[in-house]
């Protein structure tokens, strides 16, 4: 009986270093089959090989034969303008517009530093790539979502995730306060959203965090900073108006957001201070709870 041939560990190293399946196996089909068998014997764990190398060899063989499984990103949340997908621990924030080209605003990073540790968070843009969607090719930002966000819901889609499509008054109070805080941070940085602010926001139900999923849409403000803050609260109020119940507490919160008179405030902190007073009057104090969603 002939002994089982052994192969040098360099073959395992060759598999692990390979980057292109077609180059690795070659164009000739019969030679490719023979090459696969040789390397499979060298890499197989039962023959003293490597699990990692064997897995990679099989993946390359599947790719070579056109049987590689597609790794379609899983959808996290969707709004009118942006959709968020999950891929290998990262988010792909996609502008829902074919052939879109969106530049990253450098001043957005100053904003992200300002809100670090606050009730508002922002995804950190790492790179830009193009991905195929059913309606064409879209620009996508590969981002690392903050640990505090977890699952998120784009603000324009929030109603689909709420019991009876309405916000609990306490939940409304939490995220409204974050929206006012966000507006204050925008003003302090001298920034504004280049598009409708609510379209760039998501809510993390477990932490009531308000997440800016498109910080690159922040550009330098050419107008009055208080007016830019008002634009944020106005956009937020308009977006959630249909989610407000008929109870007195919810209506008072909405009236506050609608009635902020930007001309009467020179300090953004005054708006937050007044809103805190309203919430103490309505709720007497806050005890944290997860947002009620379905």
Determine the Cα–Cα distance for residues 77 and 61; give it in Å rounded to an integer: 35
Our CA angle for 75, 80, 82, nearest 5°, is 50
Q: What CATH fold (topology level) applies to the domain 74-144? A: Phosphorylase Kinase; domain 1 (3.30.200)
- What pLDDT, on a 0 to 100 scale, did the predictor assign at position 196? 93
Our CA angle for 241, 278, 283, nearest 5°, is 90
Please provide residue 214's backbone torsions phi and psi, each rounded to the nearest 5 degrees: -130, 65
Q: Judge contact between 82 and 154, C-beta under 8 A.
A: yes
**Closest alpha carbon to 93 in 122, 58, 115, 64:** 122
- What pLDDT, on a 0 to 100 scale, did the predictor assign at position 261? 54
Mean pLDDT value of segment 229-257: 89
Strands (E), the chain: 74-78, 82-87, 90-95, 120-122, 124-133, 136-144, 153-154, 191-193, 201-204, 209-212, 218-220
Q: Judge contact between 177 and 275, C-beta under 8 A.
A: yes
Query: What are the residue ranges spanned by the domains of the chain?
Result: 10-64, 74-144, 153-283
Question: Is there a shared CATH topology between the 74-144 domain and the 153-283 domain?
Answer: no
Q: Judge contact between 50 and 43, C-beta under 8 A.
A: yes
Mean pLDDT value of segment 32-56: 85
* Structure-model confidence comparison of residues 215 and 101, the more confident one: 215
- For residue 276, give both structure tokens: 């805190």
Please provide residue 290's backbone torsions phi and psi, each rounded to the nearest 5 degrees: -70, 145
Mean pLDDT value of segment 48-64: 85
- CATH 2.60.40 applies to domain 153-283: no
Q: pLDDT class for 2, splitting at 50, 70, 90?
A: very low
Q: Judge contact between 229 and 269, C-beta under 8 A.
A: no
Q: Quick one: CA dihedral 282, 283, 289, 293, positive or negative? A: negative
Range of lowest pLDDT (62-71, 73-82, 91-100): 62-71
Task: Report the run of H or E that residue 29 belongs to, with start and end.
Answer: helix 29-43
Q: Is the pLDDT of residue 155 over 90?
A: yes
Mean pLDDT value of segment 43-53: 81
Q: What is the pLDDT of residues 95-139, one digit of tens each?
A: 887 766 666 665 667 777 778 777 788 887 778 887 777 777 788
Q: pLDDT class for 158, splitting at 50, 70, 90?
A: very high
């Amino acid at each position: 009986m002939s002994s089982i041939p052994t192969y040098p560990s360099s073959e395992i190293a060759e598999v692990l270093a390979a980057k292109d399946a077609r180059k690795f196996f070659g164009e000739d089909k019969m030679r490719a089959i023979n090459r696969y068998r040789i390397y499979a014997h060298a890499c197989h764990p039962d023959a003293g090989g490597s699990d990692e190398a064997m897995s990679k060899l099989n993946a390359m063989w599947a790719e070579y034969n056109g049987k590689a499984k597609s790794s379609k990103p899983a959808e996290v949340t969707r709004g009118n303008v942006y959709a968020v997908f999950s891929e290998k621990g990262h988010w792909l924030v996609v502008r829902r517009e074919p052939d879109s080209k969106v530049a990253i605003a450098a001043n957005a990073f100053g904003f992200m530093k300002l809100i670090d540790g606050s009730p508002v968070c922002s995804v950190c843009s790492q790179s830009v790539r193009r991905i195929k969607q059913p309606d064409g090719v879209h620009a996508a930002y590969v981002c690392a979502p903050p640990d505090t966000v977890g699952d998120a819901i784009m603000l324009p889609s929030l109603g689909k995730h709420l019991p009876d499509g309405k916000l609990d008054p306490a939940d409304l109070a939490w995220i409204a306060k974050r929206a006012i805080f966000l507006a204050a941070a925008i003003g302090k940085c001298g920034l504004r959203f280049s598009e409708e602010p609510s379209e760039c926001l998501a809510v993390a139900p477990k932490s009531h965090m308000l997440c800016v999923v498109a910080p690159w849409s922040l550009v330098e403000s050419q107008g009055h900073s208080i007016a830019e803050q008002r634009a944020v609260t106005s956009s937020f109020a308009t977006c959630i108006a249909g989610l407000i119940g008929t109870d007195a507490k919810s209506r008072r919160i909405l009236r506050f957001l609608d009635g902020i008179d930007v001309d009467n405030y020179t300090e953004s902190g005054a708006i937050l201070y007044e809103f805190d007073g309203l919430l103490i009057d309505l709720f007497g104090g806050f005890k944290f709870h997860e947002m009620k969603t379905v």
